[in-house]
Homo-oligomer: A and B are copies of this chain.
Amino acid sequence: MPGDVLLLSNSRPPGGAAPFAHAREILASHLGGRPVWFVPYARADHDDYVAWVSRALGQDIDLRPLHREPDPAATIADARAVFVGGGNTFRLLHDVRRLGILDGLRANPDCRYTGSSAGTNLACPTMRTTNDMPIVDPGGFDALARVPFQVNPHYLDPDPTSTHQGETREERIVEFHEMNPEPVVGLREGAWLHRTDDTLRLGGNTARLFRRDETPVELAVGDDLSWLLTPS
């Protein structure tokens, strides 16, 4: 069995609480005391990012800054657990590719994976369901495929009172399905997906599942979504 996977929609809970305050229990249970390499490349200031997460989680988790390693690709190829933080998915994929970390993670499927926001996008077959601005060409959109479906983090329901004429999130996912077949789980703020062995469950908050040419369906906390791991 490949390593377990925990995919969070977001790092910051609403209301200004500390990062991951909403997910401490699931993080501790998922990581189980393993040393965890934190991947900060989705943000510009890596030291600042690691300090912010360490202040929040350092007492629970043995968090280690990957960007401080002399050879991050070699470190990650031997890692038992990794935590890829959020920020800009284009910058993240660009940097982990350039530094050899993407290949290192692909060569180490047993490594327990944790992602938040952009880190969740990186675990999907491609980064094609990110919400981020394309501030840099990542050199290809393929990602890690640690799960066989796509996630849209920070999923937002349409606001019926809005006068904004840009696409709603649902319209953007319909556009995705005009060109791609993979199911998309829209994870609302506070939600996560947890894969252990061949079981997949939704936690933290509800989500919305989009499949090509089908009506979207609502998913509830605790739902068993294991069938998404073996796409037809």
**Which A residues have a C-beta under 8 Å from some C-beta of B?**
10-15, 44, 87-88, 90-91, 117, 127-137, 140-141, 153-154, 156, 163-167, 172-173, 175-176, 178-180, 189
> Min CB distance, A23 to chain B, in Å?
12
- In the complex, the answer to whether A135 meets B175 with C-beta atoms within 8 Å is yes
- Please state the number of chain copies in the assembly: 2
Taking CB as reference atom, which chain B residue is nearest A13?
A: B165
Give Cα A117 to B166, complex, Å: 9
- In the complex, the answer to whether A189 meets B164 with C-beta atoms within 8 Å is yes
Which residues on B sit within 8 Å (CB–CB) of A11?
165
- In the complex, the answer to whether A130 meets B129 with C-beta atoms within 8 Å is no
- With A91-B179, A154-B164 known as contacts, the answer to whether A131 contacts B133 (CB < 8 A) is yes
- In the complex, the answer to whether A128 meets B132 with C-beta atoms within 8 Å is no
Give Cα A137 to B141, complex, Å: 6
Neighbour of A133 across the interface among B91, B129, B163, B164, CB < 8 A: B129
Q: List 25 A-B contacts (CB under 8 A).
A: A10-B165, A10-B166, A14-B163, A44-B175, A44-B178, A88-B175, A90-B134, A117-B166, A128-B133, A128-B134, A129-B133, A131-B166, A132-B167, A132-B172, A132-B175, A134-B134, A134-B141, A135-B176, A135-B179, A136-B180, A137-B140, A153-B166, A154-B164, A156-B166, A163-B189
